[in-house]
C-alpha cells in the first residue's frame, strides 16, 4: 500500500516513426485512429486520480489533429521518444497504447500498489473487438500475454521509465505484481492492429 502518493506519468507512443513503415498517408492513418483514441482518452480522463499523460507524436502529424487531441490539462504532447523520459525522483510510469482502454479504477489500483521501491505493476485485461474483420463489440476473457509483453505495464522507479528498459529485463530485476485480481483494462482488437489478434474465450 502506498502511504505517500507518487508522481504518475502515463506514456503513449502515439505514432512516432509510424509513417516510415505504413503505406497510408498521415491523414489516412489519423482519420482511422482518432475514432479509437477518443474512446481511449475518455477512459483515461474519467479516472479520478492525479496523473500526467504524455503523448509522443510524430513531427509529420497534421496540425488539424494536434488541435483535437489535447482536451485536458493533464495531457501534453512531445516530439521525443518516451524511452528518453527521465523521472525526477520516485515516479510511476505506465505505458498505454492509443487504442486501448482503462476500466474504472485502473489508475487508482496502480497507484495503490506503488511505493518508494522498484516494482513492476501489471494490469489484468480482456480483449474488446471492433471492426468488420471481428465480431464488433464482443469481449474475450482471461488471456494474458507473457508479462514481458504486457500492453499495460507500469514501472515504479526513480531513474528509469516503462519504455526505457526491455520488459523482460525489468521482470528479471524486479518483482512483478498485478494491481488487481480483476481485469481493469481492455486490449482493443480492430481491423488495423499491427500485431494483436484475438486469443481467449468469448464472454
Does residue 97 lie in a domain region? Answer: yes
The residue ranking higher by pLDDT, 144 or 90, is 90
Percent of the chain at pLDDT > 70 equals 77
- pLDDT computed for residue 146 by the predictor: 45
Three-class SS of residue 116? coil
Q: Please give the pLDDT value at position 98.
A: 95
Quick one: CA dihedral 46, 113, 117, 150, positive or negative?
negative
Residue 169 lies in a domain: yes
What's the average model confidence in pLDDT over 131-160? 65
Confirm whether 2 is domain-assigned: no
Per-residue confidence (pLDDT) for residue 168, from 0 to 100: 64
pTM of this structure: 0.86
Q: What is the pLDDT of residue 113?
A: 96
Does residue 193 surpass a pLDDT of 80? no
Is 137 in contact with 129 (CB distance < 8 Å)?
yes
Q: What's the chain's average pLDDT?
A: 84
45's CB contacts (< 8 A; 6+ apart) are 71, 72, 74, 75
Q: What is the pLDDT of residues 122-137, one digit of tens each?
A: 999 988 877 544 455 5
Query: Of 66-75, 76-85, 123-132, 136-145, which gets the smallest average pLDDT?
Result: 136-145
The answer to whether residue 127 sits within a structural domain is: yes
3-state DSSP assignment of residue 172:
helix
Domain annotation covers residue 134: yes
Query: Among 39-53, 109-123, 140-154, whose mean pLDDT is lowest?
Result: 140-154
Count structural domains, the chain: 1
**pLDDT for residue 169 is more than 80:** no
Which segments within the chain are labelled E, that is strand? 7-13, 52-56, 75-78, 91-95, 101-102, 119-122, 125-129, 139-141, 154-157, 176-178, 185-189, 201-202
CA–CA separation, 5 and 148 (whole Å): 26
Which residue stretches of the chain are H helix?
Answer: 26-45, 63-69, 106-113, 167-173
CB contact at 8 A, 19 and 58 = yes
Is residue 103 assigned to a domain?
Answer: yes
CATH number of the structural domain spanning residue 88 = 3.90.550
Query: Does the residue 129 lie in any domain?
Result: yes
31: domain range? 7-202
Check residues 42 and 174 and name the one with the higher pLDDT: 42
What's the pLDDT at 24?
Answer: 83
Please give the pLDDT value at position 191.
63
| Structural domain includes residue 1 | no
Predicted confidence at residue 201, as pLDDT, reads 44
pLDDT in tens, 89-124: 999 999 999 999 999 999 999 999 999 999 999 999
Amino acid at each position: 500500500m502506498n502511504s505517500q502518493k507518487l508522481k504518475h506519468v502515463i506514456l503513449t507512443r502515439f505514432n512516432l516513426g509510424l509513417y516510415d513503415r505504413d503505406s497510408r498517408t498521415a491523414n489516412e492513418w489519423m482519420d482511422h485512429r482518432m475514432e479509437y483514441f477518443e474512446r481511449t482518452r475518455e477512459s483515461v480522463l474519467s479516472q479520478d486520480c492525479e496523473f500526467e499523460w504524455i503523448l509522443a507524436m510524430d513531427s509529420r502529424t497534421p496540425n488539424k489533429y494536434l488541435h483535437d487531441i489535447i482536451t485536458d490539462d493533464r495531457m501534453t504532447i512531445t516530439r521525443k521518444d518516451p524511452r528518453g523520459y527521465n523521472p525526477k525522483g520516485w515516479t510511476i510510469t505506465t505505458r498505454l497504447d492509443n487504442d486501448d482502454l482503462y476500466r474504472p479504477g485502473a489508475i487508482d489500483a496502480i497507484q495503490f500498489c506503488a511505493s518508494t521501491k522498484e516494482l513492476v505493476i501489471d494490469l489484468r485485461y480482456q480483449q474488446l473487438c471492433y471492426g468488420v474483420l471481428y465480431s464488433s463489440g464482443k469481449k474475450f476473457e482471461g488471456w494474458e500475454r507473457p508479462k514481458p509483453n504486457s500492453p499495460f505495464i507500469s514501472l515504479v522507479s526513480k531513474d528509469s521509465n516503462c519504455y526505457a528498459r526491455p520488459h523482460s529485463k525489468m521482470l528479471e530485476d524486479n518483482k512483478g505484481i498485478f494491481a488487481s485480481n480483476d481485469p481493469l483494462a481492455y486490449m482493443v482488437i480492430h481491423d488495423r492492429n499491427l500485431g494483436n489478434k484475438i486469443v481467449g474465450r468469448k464472454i
